[in-house]
Structure formats: structure tokens, C-alpha cells
Amino acid sequence: MVHGREIAYNSKVEGNIILANLDASINWMRTHSMWPMPMGLACCAIELMASGGARFDIARFGAEVMRFSPRQSDVLIVAGTVTYKMALATKRIYEQMPDPKWVIAMGACASSGGMYRSYAVLQGIDRILPVDVYISGCPPRPEALLEGLMRLQQKIMTEKSTTRQLVPEPALV
């Protein structure tokens, strides 16, 4: 059913027993109950809101519990332009999130500075945070956000959850 390690239901074993690899089941649980922290900074946030609306319905992927408190969330969706004035606040919010945590850079601005090559805009949040998934587009359509979410789920499934390697933080460049 899932990439990498299996969770198997064996009907020959009596009762409601599922045999599974510990990593796989923890990962499976994590992938389907991601609580995003929506960092809605600019225009991309509107598409982030749209994906929460009825038409795209992010709840289908178990990620509708948007938490505005970083302490309660595990995916940071950075949607919008990160300016230098905002950069350290974003980093602080990331640091407040409990482990394990992942980061999605939504849109061209968050990924690379996008069309704002100027004195005020941080050229991609990967200069201050470790990013797991980049989503292209200006703005990405809600479908693209959902696709990014599923990519993240795939990525989580390959993780060794018991011995998660903490990603080294990028040095300020």
C-alpha cells in the first residue's frame, strides 16, 4: 500500500490484529494527521485559504486542522513573500514547533524570492530554514499545494521515525 515499508493486515491471524513495522506505522499515522501551521504572508495565502474551502477541501488529506499556534503543529507552510523584516520571525516560529516538523515552501517567493529581486526580500526561505517540499507557481494552484502535501507524505513514509536525523540548519548566507 505505501512506499517503502508495509503495513500488512493479515486476515489469517484471528482477531483485530495488524502486524506492522514500527517505523511504518508511526509514519503512516504521521502522514495522515498533519497539522499545518499556515504562515500566510502574501498572495499565496489566498490560495492556501482556497484549498481549505469547499472546492479543494484539504481535509481529504488529513491536513485541515490549521493551527495558528506553532506549538500545536507539525508542518510549516510558508505561503508568501518572506521579507528580511519577517525572516527572523519566521525562523522563530519554526523553532517553536515541536519535533518532528516539516517545512513546505509554497510559491516562487518562498522558494527563491520569485519576482521580487529587491533589497527587501529574502531570496528563498531555504536560507534560514530546512525545506522539505518546494511548490512552484506564482501562486501555485490549490491542486499544486495538495500535490506538495502528498509528496511530503511520501517523504515522511521513507523516514526512519525512531532515529530521525535532524536536518542541519542552513547557515545564514
* Residue 85 one-letter amino acid: K
Question: Among 36, 40, 70, 114, which residue interacts with ligand SF4 (rule: CB under 6 A)?
Answer: 114
Q: Is 83 in the site for other proteins (CB under 8 A)?
A: yes
CA 27 to chain centre: 14
| Residue 107 interacting with ligand SF4 (CB under 6 A) | yes
Q: What is the DSSP letter of 172?
A: P
Binding mask 44-83 for ligand SF4 (x = CB under 6 A): x-----------------------------------xx--
Q: Is 39 helix (H, G, I), strand (E, B) or coil?
A: strand
Task: Give whichever of 34 and 42 is closer to other proteins, judged by the CB atom.
Answer: 42
Number of residues interacting with ligand SF4: please give it, by CB under 6 A: 12
One of 76, 77, 109, 129 touching ligand SF4 (CB under 6 A)? 109
What lies within 8 Å, CB to CB, of 91 at 6+ separation is: 128, 129
Cis amide prior to 36 (ω within 30 degrees): no
Work out whether 39 is an interface residue with other proteins (CB under 8 A): yes
SS (HEC) of 72-111:
HCCEEEEECCCEHHHHHHHHHHHHHCCCCCEEEEEHHHHH
x/- contact string, 95-134, with other proteins (CB under 8 A)? ------------------x-xxxxxxxxx---x-------
Can you give the binding site for ligand SF4, defined by CB under 6 A? Answer: 42-44, 80-81, 107-109, 114-115, 138-139
